[in-house]
Chain A
Amino acid sequence: MDGKFIQDSHKTLADLLWRLNYISDVKGEKNWGGIDEIHKDIQQIQNYFFDIPDEKLIESILVLEHRVKLVEDRVYETLKPLDFVRITRSPQRFTTIDILENVYDSYTELGGEADCNVDPAIVAARATISRKIKGKTYRHQVMVIGHEKGSGEEYRNGGSAKPWGNEKALRFMKVAEREGIPVHSFIFTPGAFPIEDYPGAAQQIARNIFEMCKLSVPIVSFISEGGSGGAEAIGVSDIRLMASYGYYSVISPEGAAAIEGKIREGQKVPHELVEMCANSLNITADKNLKLGTIDRIVEEPRLGARKENFEFYKRLRFEMISATDEIILRTKNLKLFRSYILEMNEKREKGLPDDFDIQINWDLSDWESRKLLNLRSKKYRDIGSKFFTEKKGGLINAFKIFKDRATEGYYGIKYGLIRPNQRNIQRVIDDVAEEGSVILKTVAGKALTSIEKPVPHKESKAEEKSVFLSDWEGYFSPLVNEDGAVTCPNAQKYGCVDQWIPDLYGEFSGVCPTCGHHFPLEYHWYIKNLFDKGSIHEFNGNLSSINTLGFPGIDDKLNKAFKDTGLRSSMITFDATVEGIKVIVVMSVSDFRNGTVGACEGEKFVRACDRANVSRRPLLAYIHTTGGIRIHEGTVGVAQMPKCTMAVREYIDNGGLYIVVYDNNSFAGPVASFLGCSPYQFAIRSSKIGFAGPRVIRETTGQDIPPHYHGAKNALKRGHIQGIWDRRQFRKNLYDALITMGGPNLYYK
């Protein structure tokens, strides 16, 4: 036996053991396919290594290799979606640090290293990546942001970023924007760490998505483990790649199974149910490609790439460079470049090319940056556009469409042509008047009165109202018809007396007269009592939710919701007025599937933003309840987070006033995106706001949470919301908010 032979044989045997461990990881069973026996045989050879003759040793190793391969073949043939989840969670899988080491030439980690870090679950690094053209090397500067699961490093929290980790990611993305270098993000997260420490998990994710929507540099993201909101926090991108053995999902299959099976906390979730959910959630790369939530799949070696698969890193480098090239070239109008993109795609299909044909500068001009952002906006607005139904045709619909077009035209002329000129004239007049010329001032005064004032400077019309509903001549909740009493949840603390239900829901508007606790009320109460009588006109009511993924049993549940509520989705959008101020309202109601958001709701929200944009009206999102993203719509639901944020960002950037008011329970995806991004968020008293519910926090972090952890007061303390409103003064507070926040820009900048 020579030294090299011994070394090689030992290495082969160790590798075989690693492969067997990997099989157990993938299948979630220690002795899947009888691998224990192979394991023992390998260990026996290792123990008697020097006693076995060379020929026999070679033969035994060959046999063992063959046996391991046979098991791997069987694993490959029987791969199920749940196995993909386990592949991504295997400690042998590559991570962001491995990518930085092997895909990029050099890198400097930013914001700390290892456990000496703001948040070790997020890695930010300034890196260089190179390409070869005819033997010559060209280097590019990039900002790499990724989740680091760590291989056995507990302090990484398995890649679950805390709010300050996501803040770090955003901070360095902004550095990249300032320096004009592309961002490459790598997603390896089971989900964000669900804590409400400053500024709150949901709030930080919302901030990230809001900024990334208009980050003026190319962003390429790569998903290995895409856990819902945590993934979106660094995942908004121009091109989204996904590892062929990765998973991207709205919720972990275990979480979905617990919800589907209504499993109580602490009870074991049946394995079959988890399998069913993993199959139905469409979490694999090919399913996501079909849904349009990713752009391309990066092929991995069979059963997934592991840390030492260097060929895979080569492919990943090629994919990251060509994706960035493609984003850059899309902003340019040259046909030659477009044909280059096509060529690259053809090459990719044939096999991995060694060299690139041309060098592309990754710098963008201002004009190109604008085009980049427009393309990103279009990409996100198109996501999920085929996953709802829209009733078209009919005379009434045709009339509505005609009315909408006419309104669009009217406002286009009013605010696009007349108003800017009117403003300019007024500005000139104001400037001249300030010069102190008495004559000019007189003229200016006359000129001003001759044109309509652009902004209604209204005195507050909202009167101090009685707290008793009977004095309002308002709408009474049908709950008043119930004969019985109810106890306030704060009775022990404040000594609240039991209330007779007709009194509580009638005179007191569902508010405890002792402590002010707000009992939930149906959304109709707000529609009737918040807005001016007869001012509500619904639009897009013809859009309807569908069973996007064909999830078992959802068709029946949706039909029941249609029948019970008379609604087609959980979101109602309408025009209304509050004390004469015209607003566009988005209302998310609990009655329909607990206010969850799917493709239909996302589309309705986007259209409401656009309507508010066109008609230059304030946008109010009143969240009666939202339970998060509808899990039965999988990643199409998750994609509504950036889609809606994109629309509302464009509305805000154009000068719109966006106010969000939370009521009852508002959790998860919507709060972590298009609701949480509003600069003006308020909550109705006794409402709960957060990212994940108490049960999820307990199960994922292993820690219990204090009472009122998700309460509005806590949200106010950490700066998530700007104020807490009493239900009985909602109308007045809303009017005041519109006047104070809107000010001279009430309708439009």
Chain B
Amino acid sequence: MDMQQDIEVNLEELLMKYRENPFEEIPVLTPHTGLINFKVKKGDDVKGVEGQWNHIPGTLLFIIDREKNTKKITSPTKGKISAIKTNLEGSFIEAGEQVMIIKKLLEKKEVIERVLTTVLHPFNAKDDARYYMIPELTNKMESGKNVAINNGDEAIIMSLMKRDTIIKYEGVSGVIYSVYFGQGELVEKGKPLLGICPMEKLSLIEKIIERINLEWDNALVCHRA
């Protein structure tokens, strides 16, 4: 019971942190050397990639010219330019230099995901490979019920070099709360495949999500104001 209280306190702090500063700061780096010519200024609102197929590029941030080859760098996300090194305008810069920061307002979904990563136990990919959920688990999950998983249960099929290896789950027992990959998707080594929630924390997590769903929009309104 004490442990649960601890987690609750931690989460309370975490939520507080996000509520106070619901932003993510995304640094924009130069892809290569060249002469830089800024197209935005501090405080400008920028758009991210849009369209059904992500085919509409975001707002033009700057143009970088190397060997008479001008390259347009567009905004990867929606947000506001919070910092920009306008003193570099027209000068030659190195690759990988941070030239501006885009302040992005976090969405409800993103906050939930971030909070969940702190609570859930991740089960990570063993290698760079294609991963499939074992059919039994898939069927169970499709039925919409919580699917329990214990240490040593067969969970994932790893497909590498034309060999399919069944991977057993290692970690705390609980419920599969999040699946971070699509069937047959390539996943890098070390990236999470599953997010496991211990049984006793389940109600707590649901409570947190409910709270974020209820409170987040109001919190944002305050920030926007």
Q: CB within 8 Å of B: which residues of A?
A: 483-487, 498, 500, 704, 706-707
Contacts and interface: CB of A to CB of B under 8 A. Distances in A.
B51 A498 contact: no
A704 B52 CA distance: 8
Contacts of A485: 66-69
B17 interface: no
8 contacts: A485-B67, A485-B69, A486-B69, A487-B69, A498-B32, A498-B69, A706-B52, A707-B53
Contacts of B51: 704
Contacts of B69: 484-487, 498
B55 A500 contact: no
A500 B67 contact: yes
A636 B71 CA distance: 43
B67 A498 contact: yes
A704 B69 CA distance: 30
Nearest to B52: A704
Interface in B54-102: 55, 66-69, 71
A125 B182 CA distance: 51
Contacts of B66: 485, 498
B81 to A, nearest CB: 22
A484 B68 contact: yes
Contacts of A704: 51-52, 55
A347 to B, nearest CB: 60
Contact of A706 (B32, B55, B67): B55
Overall SS of chain A's interface: loop
Contacts of B55: 704, 706-707
B67 A484 contact: yes
Interface residues of B, number: 10
A483 B68 CA distance: 8
Contacts of A483: 67-68
B71 A706 contact: no
A498 B68 CA distance: 11
A487 B71 contact: yes
Nearest to B51: A704
A706 B68 contact: no
Contacts of B32: 498
Contacts of A484: 67-69
A436 B51 CA distance: 72
A483 B69 CA distance: 10
Contacts of B52: 704, 706
B74 to A, nearest CB: 11
Nearest to B66: A485
A500 B69 CA distance: 9
A707 B54 CA distance: 9
Nearest to A497: B32
Nearest to B54: A707
A264 to B, nearest CB: 15
Interface in B4-62: 32, 51-53, 55
A484 B34 CA distance: 13
Contacts of A707: 53, 55
Contacts of A486: 69
A485 B71 CA distance: 11
A117 B204 CA distance: 56
A167 B86 CA distance: 60
A483 B67 CA distance: 8
Contacts of A706: 52-53, 55
Contacts of A498: 32, 66-67, 69
Given A483-B67, A485-B67, A704-B51, 11 more contacts: A483-B68, A484-B69, A485-B68, A485-B69, A487-B69, A498-B32, A498-B67, A500-B67, A704-B52, A706-B52, A707-B53
In the complex, the 4 A-B pairs of residues with the closest C-beta atoms, listed nearest first: A484-B68, A485-B67, A485-B69, A707-B55
Nearest to A482: B68
Contacts of A500: 67
Contacts of B68: 483-485
B211 to A, nearest CB: 38
Contacts of B53: 706-707
B212 to A, nearest CB: 33
**Listed residue (A484, A486, A500) with the most chain B CB atoms within 10 angstroms of its CB:** A484
A706 B52 CA distance: 8
A500 B67 CA distance: 8
B73 to A, nearest CB: 11
A500 B66 CA distance: 11
A634 B32 CA distance: 49
A710 to B, nearest CB: 13
B57 to A, nearest CB: 11
A484 B55 CA distance: 28
A235 to B, nearest CB: 35
A487 B65 CA distance: 11
A697 to B, nearest CB: 13
B97 to A, nearest CB: 18
A487 B32 CA distance: 12
B49 to A, nearest CB: 11
A692 B195 CA distance: 48
Nearest to A694: B55
A126 B76 CA distance: 58
Nearest to B68: A484
A75 B66 CA distance: 62
A7 B172 CA distance: 87
A485 B65 CA distance: 10
A483 B66 CA distance: 11
Nearest to A500: B67
A637 to B, nearest CB: 32
B124 to A, nearest CB: 25
A498 B67 CA distance: 10
A496 to B, nearest CB: 13
A362 B68 CA distance: 70
B50 to A, nearest CB: 10
A485 B68 CA distance: 6
A485 B64 CA distance: 12
Q: Which of A485, A486, A704, A706 has the most CB of B within 10 A?
A: A485
A663 to B, nearest CB: 24
A1 to B, nearest CB: 62
A484 B67 CA distance: 5
B69 to A, nearest CB: 4
B140 to A, nearest CB: 35
Nearest to A499: B69
B67 to A, nearest CB: 4
A276 B101 CA distance: 50
A498 B66 CA distance: 10
A486 B67 CA distance: 8
Nearest to B72: A487
A500 B53 CA distance: 31
Nearest to A707: B55
A279 to B, nearest CB: 37
Contacts of B71: 487
A706 B54 CA distance: 9
A704 B51 CA distance: 9
Interface in B117-155: none
Nearest to B56: A704
A704 B53 CA distance: 10
B188 to A, nearest CB: 16
B12 to A, nearest CB: 41
A500 B51 CA distance: 33
Interface string B196-218: 00000000000000000000000
A692 to B, nearest CB: 18
B47 to A, nearest CB: 16
A484 B32 CA distance: 15
Nearest to A706: B53
A484 B69 CA distance: 6
A126 B66 CA distance: 67
B182 to A, nearest CB: 19
A114 B51 CA distance: 34
A13 B52 CA distance: 51
A486 B32 CA distance: 13
A189 B67 CA distance: 51
B150 to A, nearest CB: 41
